[in-house]
């Protein structure tokens, strides 16, 4: 897959830069202003999209940030509108099936399970519906909305569910304890305008791809991490804004990690526990073999689930 192709299509993320870029011919400069930080915590403004494979790739880093600095971070999730529809032919990509092999490549590169066959079996026609559903979930409960996003991504990347279909969004919502009836009302109503607001904010700040994370302090200072990057770069952005911030120690045994995050990939477990990647997978397999964890296999890796 050529770099030119990757850079011209939103679903063909550039593995080298770790970015899934939106399709636009307009080059916008980032605004000098920044989203306002509301308190003394460091604020992360995270521009993402439910179907962004590079965003799935940084889940291990984000989960570790929350464990080590969560008490001093405020994360604001903004949807970016990665795939409006298929009414374009960009970089030689004109149909969903063209994306399948790329997702398989991304899975190997990030060491996070992704099954590209979704684009052959039941492809999404747009990322807008799950994005709007996320905004609807935020109206109910911010924490459950984040769980909802994770559930949607697991269903899509691992189980090949078309998350543009309401039935799958409803399943994800039910599993994290959202009021599905209210979600549908908001999905068809005010969540649409909230999503449009997110798109405007992304345009205002010149966001061209995902993941994009602004780190802000209460004095208006900012750091930007653009693309999927190693954990040290996210931590460095925090420490640059507040060199005196304290890191929380957390238990790295499997019971504690799964009590915090009931689903973990081998890469995530390795990053969170500090155990070597191969050793992590062997341990998780042993736990699933003994019945302490469930395991969901894909052709490109697995995820382990607390029973």
| Single pTM value for the model | 0.90
Q: SS3 of 183, please?
A: helix
24 pLDDT exceeds 80?
Answer: no
The pLDDT of residue 93 is 62
Q: How confident is the model at residue 141 (pLDDT cuts 50, 70, 90)?
A: very high
For residue range 228-275, list pLDDT tens digits in order. 999 999 999 999 999 999 999 999 999 999 999 999 999 999 999 999
CB under 8 A, 24+ apart: contacts of 98-103: 99/9, 99/11, 99/12, 99/123, 101/1, 102/1, 102/6, 102/11, 102/12, 102/13, 103/11, 103/53
β-strand 73-79 against 42-48: which pairing, if any? parallel
Cα 274 to Cα 270: distance, rounded to the nearest angstrom? 5
Domains along the sequence of the chain with CATH = 3-22+32-209 (3.40.30.10), 254-306 (1.10.10.10)
Residue 142: other Cβ atoms inside 10 A = 12
Q: SS3 of 121, please?
A: helix
């Amino acid at each position: 897959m050529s770099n030119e192709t990757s850079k011209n299509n939103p679903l063909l993320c550039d593995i080298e830069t770790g970015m899934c870029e939106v399709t636009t011919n307009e080059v916008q400069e980032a605004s000098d202003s920044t989203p306002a930080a509301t308190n003394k915590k460091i604020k992360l403004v995270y521009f993402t999209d439910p179907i962004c494979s590079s965003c799935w790739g940084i889940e291990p880093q984000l989960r570790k940030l929350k464990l080590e600095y969560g008490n001093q971070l405020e994360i604001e999730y903004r949807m970016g509108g990665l795939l409006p529809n298929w009414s374009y032919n960009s970089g030689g990509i004109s149909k969903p099936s063209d994306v399948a092999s790329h997702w398989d490549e991304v899975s190997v590169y990030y060491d996070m399970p992704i099954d590209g066959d979704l684009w052959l079996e039941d492809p999404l026609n747009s990322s807008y519906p799950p994005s709007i559903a996320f905004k609807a979930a935020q109206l109910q409960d911010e924490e459950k909305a984040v769980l909802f996003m994770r559930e949607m991504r697991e269903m899509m990347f691992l189980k090949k569910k078309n998350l543009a279909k309401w039935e799958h969004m409803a399943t994800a919502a039910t599993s994290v304890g959202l009021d599905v009836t209210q979600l549908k009302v908001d999905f068809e109503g005010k969540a649409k305008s909230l999503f449009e607001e997110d798109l405007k904010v992304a345009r205002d700040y010149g966001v061209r791809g995902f993941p994009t994370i602004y780190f802000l302090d209460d004095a208006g200072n900012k750091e930007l991490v653009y693309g999927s990057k190693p954990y040290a770069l996210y931590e460095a952005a925090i420490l640059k804004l507040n060199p005196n911030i304290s890191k929380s120690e957390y238990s790295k045994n499997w019971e504690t990690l799964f009590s915090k995050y009931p689903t973990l990939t081998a890469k995530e477990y390795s990053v969170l526990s500090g155990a070597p990647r191969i050793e992590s997978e062997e341990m998780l397999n042993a736990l699933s073999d003994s019945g302490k964890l469930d395991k969901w296999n894909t052709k490109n890796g697995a995820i382990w689930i607390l029973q």
